[in-house]
A and B are shown apart, each in its own frame.
Chain A
Amino acid sequence: VQLVESGGGLVQTGGSLRLSCAASGFTFRSHSMNWVRQAPGKGLEWISYIDTGGRTTFYSDSVKGRFTISRDNGKDSLSLQMKSLRDDDTAVYYCVRDRPRAAGEFDAWGQGTLVTVSS
């Protein structure tokens, strides 16, 4: 099982960024997926969920209306489109897999990609 995030970097306050996650080693279309972030020196924060088919999504209040999660089961990939970025969005962003038919039980994590938002 491998989850590899990409797309992180330095972005200006108010800007946009798109994160990607390439999945391999498992049947991607059988697992719901999430994004979880961790600000420097802080705890974990769940921010978004998408079901296996991509039809149902949830967001934390902190990103609702600014971030969009999506997936491409044909390409085994997960994405997070982020806009109107704020300084407090600075964090390591993890791509996270749910256990089969067990949404919320995070059994595989990527290594994370760092997003730094600064004016």
Chain B
Amino acid sequence: EIVLTQSPATLSLSPGERATLSCRASQSVSTHLAWYQQKPGQAPRLLIYAASNRAPGIPARFSGAGSGTDFTLTISSLQPDDFATYYCQQYDTYSLTFGQGTKVE
């Protein structure tokens, strides 16, 4: 099973600041990596797929990068609506796995 490790666990920032979230895989997943946003009491929402492609309707301030084992999600300028928990997920190999999440507060 591929283990995804996200860092940091919590990111404390202010609106307007830049957020950089990291996801490291225990083995290469090529670019088969997605990012999701989840707010309390809600289902997750797909932000990024194939490491760097924004899902439809996702604002341009969200960007993804990386390949192999190291990936980042960047939010260029935090908006009040962006404070949430973010998960990375690999789909290179079944069993699919998620990281443990980064809470942006």
Tell me the A residues contacting B by CB distance below 8 Å.
Answer: 34, 43-46, 49, 58-61, 94, 99, 102-107, 109-112
Contacts and interface: CB of A to CB of B under 8 A. Distances in A.
Given A58-B94, A94-B43, A102-B49, 7 more contacts: A34-B96, A44-B87, A46-B89, A104-B89, A105-B50, A107-B55, A110-B43
Nearest to B55: A107
A43 B43 contact: no
B44 interface: yes
Interface string B27-62: 000001010101000011110011000010000000
Contacts of B99: 43
Given A43-B98, A44-B98, A46-B97, A105 B44 contact: no
A109 B36 CA distance: 11
Given A46-B97, A112-B43, A106 B1 contact: no
Interface of B: 1, 32, 34, 36, 38, 43-46, 49-50, 55, 87, 89-91, 94-101
11 contacts: A43-B87, A43-B98, A44-B98, A46-B98, A58-B94, A104-B91, A105-B50, A105-B91, A106-B34, A106-B36, A106-B44
Q: Is the interface of A mostly helix, strand, loop or mixed?
A: strand
A67 B44 CA distance: 23
A18 to B, nearest CB: 21
Contacts of B32: 104
A87 B17 CA distance: 41
A61 B1 CA distance: 10
Contacts of B1: 61
A61 B34 contact: no
